Every structure is written in structure tokens, then in C-alpha cells.
């Protein structure tokens, strides 16, 4: 995981593997978000882009860890949902640069951002829960329903459909698509006109907009 800056836009590279949400991964991303918020408070960070370096944006839940630690499932799901709620209400503009596959909770992490840019010619956005027999938690369902219109909810939540970038843009799952090597720069440019928003005001607006989803994610 690596944090860099493009002017005052923080760019967080999640890594170059599957970027699954292991407990260590969750600890690290929380630490980096703490750093970004500190930079925001100091006037040095006015937006956040998350991206990745390999064929995955993130593959979501660490199922191997879950299988080995079944007795801690409740704790683990709570940690994942807390991350989603945190990104959903981050007091700065956010964009996910979906450079590769975004599956399950990884797709939900992308949805928790304000904006999404996806590679046009490679990678899938997919919520496979219906096919792997894992129903959505109320919090995860609330997040998805807060971000997608009813048609996209049915298409993504009840079918396990794999959306390529162009298909995802047609369903308004992502805001734009870009070619190889251009996804992260395009996400940065989405945020550049939004720099300088007051964090307190923006955070309060997001907390109100997404209040029911946040309550469901953190209950």
C-alpha cells in the first residue's frame, strides 16, 4: 500500500495483488486514511483517489482468513463495514480508479467513493453474492442501494453479473471509463475542480445523505 500526492490530491495505491481485506490490510488502510485526514486538516489534502497496481482493484473479503477464523466472522464483517462507512462519509471528495477487477466487498468499496472511473477494456465490477450463496448484510445492501438506481441494483445484486467498464457506465455504476494507464489520472481530474471544499460542511452533508446506510453499516 502506497500513498502519494498529485498536487493536493492524495493517491492511495492499494497494492499489486488481489488486495483482499485481511485484518492487516484493514489496519493499514485505516492508518493511511488517518494520515490523509491529518493532511486534510492541515490544508495539504483536498481529495482522495484509490487505485491499484495490478489486475485487481480489490477482490474484497479475505475468504481464506474467514474459513480459518470462523468464530471471528462477526468481528471481521464489522471491521469491513466500518471501512465502507468511513469512506462513504470521508470529509473530502473521493474517487475510485477501478483499474482492474472489483468483486464483492471490493466493488462495495468502490461504490463508497463519491465517483468511480473504470478501465474500459479490462476488468469486471461484480457483486457475486447470489452465486456464492452469501446474502448481503443489511449494511452492505443499504450501501449499494444508496449508490445505485433500482435497475442497477437488480442487475448487480440479484444476478451476479460481471460488468465490464462500458457496461458499468451504461448502468451508471461508474461515472466514466478510460483506457490502459489513464484510469487513475482520469480519476484525479474528476476531483481537481472540487479541491477546497470545507471538510466540516462536506462531511456533514455526506453523513446526512447517507445516514441510513451508515447506521446499517455500523449497527
- Three-class SS of residue 194? helix
Strands 2-6 and 9-13: antiparallel
Q: Exposed, middle or buried by CB within 10 Å (0-12, 13-18, 19+), for 98?
A: buried
Crossing angle of helices 138-147/73-88, nearest 10°? 20
Spell out, as residue ranges, where the chain has pLDDT lower than 50. none
Report pLDDT digits (tens) over 103-129.
999 999 999 999 999 999 999 999 999
Q: Which residues pair with 98 in a beta bridge?
A: 118
Strands 2-6 and 56-58: unpaired
SS3 content of the chain, % helix, strand, coil (to 5): 50, 20, 30
CATH superfamily of 2-218: 2-enoyl-CoA Hydratase; Chain A, domain 1 (3.90.226.10)
Please give the Cα distance from 143 to 149 (Å, whole number): 12
- In angstroms, how far is CA 80 from the centroid of its own chain? 11
Q: Please state the domain extents for the chain.
A: 2-218
pLDDT of residue 196: 87
CA 108-113-115 angle, to 5 degrees, is 115
Task: Write down how long the chain is.
Answer: 219
In sequence order, what DSSP letters do the residues of 95-138 get, joined into one string?
EEEE-SEEETHHHHHHHHSSEEEEESSS--EE--HHHHT-PPPH
Please give the Cα distance from 72 to 60 (Å, whole number): 17
**Residue 170 CB neighbours (<10 A):** 12
Report pLDDT digits (tens) over 155-168.
999 999 999 999 99
Q: Exposed, middle or buried by CB within 10 Å (0-12, 13-18, 19+), for 185?
A: middle
Please give the Cα distance from 102 to 88 (Å, whole number): 17
Amino acid at each position: 500500500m502506497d500513498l502519494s500526492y498529485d498536487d493536493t490530491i492524495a493517491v492511495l495505491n492499494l497494492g499489486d495483488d488481489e488486495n483482499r481485506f485481511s485484518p492487516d490490510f484493514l489496519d493499514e488502510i485505516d492508518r493511511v486514511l488517518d494520515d490523509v485526514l491529518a493532511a486534510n486538516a492541515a490544508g495539504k489534502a483536498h481529495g482522495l483517489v484509490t487505485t491499484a497496481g495490478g489486475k485487481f482493484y480489490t477482490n474484497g473479503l479475505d475468504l481464506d482468513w474467514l474459513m480459518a477464523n470462523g468464530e471471528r466472522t462477526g468481528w471481521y464483517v464489522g471491521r469491513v463495514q466500518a471501512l465502507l462507512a468511513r469512506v462513504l462519509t470521508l470529509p473530502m471528495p473521493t474517487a475510485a480508479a477501478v483499474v482492474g477487477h472489483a468483486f464483492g466487498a471490493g466493488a462495495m468499496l468502490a461504490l463508497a467513493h463519491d465517483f468511480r472511473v473504470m478501465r474500459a477494456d479490462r476488468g469486471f465490477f461484480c457483486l457475486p453474492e447470489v452465486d456464492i450463496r452469501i446474502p448481503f448484510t443489511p449494511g452492505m445492501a443499504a450501501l449499494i442501494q444508496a449508490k445505485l438506481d433500482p435497475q442497477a441494483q437488480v442487475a448487480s445484486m440479484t444476478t451476479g453479473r460481471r460488468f465490464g467498464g462500458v457496461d458499468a457506465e451504461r448502468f451508471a455504476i461508474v461515472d466514466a471509463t478510460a483506457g490502459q494507464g489513464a484510469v487513475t489520472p482520469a480519476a484525479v481530474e474528476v476531483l481537481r475542480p472540487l479541491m477546497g471544499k470545507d471538510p466540516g460542511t462536506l462531511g456533514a452533508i455526506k453523513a446526512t445523505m447517507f445516514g441510513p446506510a451508515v447506521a446499517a453499516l455500523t449497527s
